[in-house]
């Protein structure tokens, strides 16, 4: 069982016959994407929920991030996930989830975009930096 309360929830890319897809093909693909590119391609704007972990990390309510994906969170599960404690903390211009987090965990963020695409050796992505900082703090708090 998982937070959706269903036994079989999955990703159609890995389980094409899944009866309850947690992810679905993006409903509003980017029109100007190159032929053969994923449905969500290029930098897309995301509105970040004030007060969320993502907002604390980014320090702003509108960001732009690189996507290379065909799938997005199934909107049928949004209410179920939010009732279970999951927070949709960032949405794209079409209202689809772009950032999801568990606020009661030390660090739990997942994204529809690919942060490492805009991360560099001397300029790491803010989510990657925040993750490493949280991991270091967690490690320091562990007792032998």
Torsion of CA 113, 17, 82, 70, to 10 degrees: 20
**The model's pTM:** 0.81
β-strand pairing of 62-69 with 23-25:
unpaired
Per-residue pLDDT of the chain (144 residues; tens, 9 = 90+): 455 555 567 777 777 788 778 887 777 666 777 677 667 777 789 999 999 999 999 999 999 998 888 788 888 888 988 988 899 999 998 888 999 999 888 899 999 898 888 888 889 999 999 999 988 887 776 655
Task: Find out whether 88 and 97 touch, Cβ atoms under 8 Å.
Answer: yes
CATH architecture type of domain 23-141: 3-Layer(aba) Sandwich (3.40)
Q: Distance between the two ends of the chain, CA-based, in angstroms?
A: 32
**Model pLDDT, residue 68:** 82
């Amino acid at each position: 069982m998982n937070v959706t309360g269903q036994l079989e929830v999955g990703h159609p890319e890995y389980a094409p016959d899944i009866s309850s897809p947690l992810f679905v093909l993006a409903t509003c693909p980017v029109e100007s994407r190159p032929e053969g590119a994923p449905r969500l391609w290029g930098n897309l704007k995301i509105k970040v929920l004030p007060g969320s972990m993502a907002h604390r990390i980014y320090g702003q309510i509108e960001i732009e991030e690189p996507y290379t994906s065909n799938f997005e969170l199934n909107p049928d599960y949004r209410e179920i996930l939010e009732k279970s404690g999951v927070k949709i903390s960032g949405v794209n211009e079409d209202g689809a989830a772009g950032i999801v987090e568990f606020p009661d965990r030390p660090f739990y963020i997942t994204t529809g975009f690919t942060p490492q695409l805009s991360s560099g050796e001397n300029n790491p992505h803010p989510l990657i930096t925040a993750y490493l900082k949280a991991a270091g703090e967690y490690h320091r708090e562990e007792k032998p």
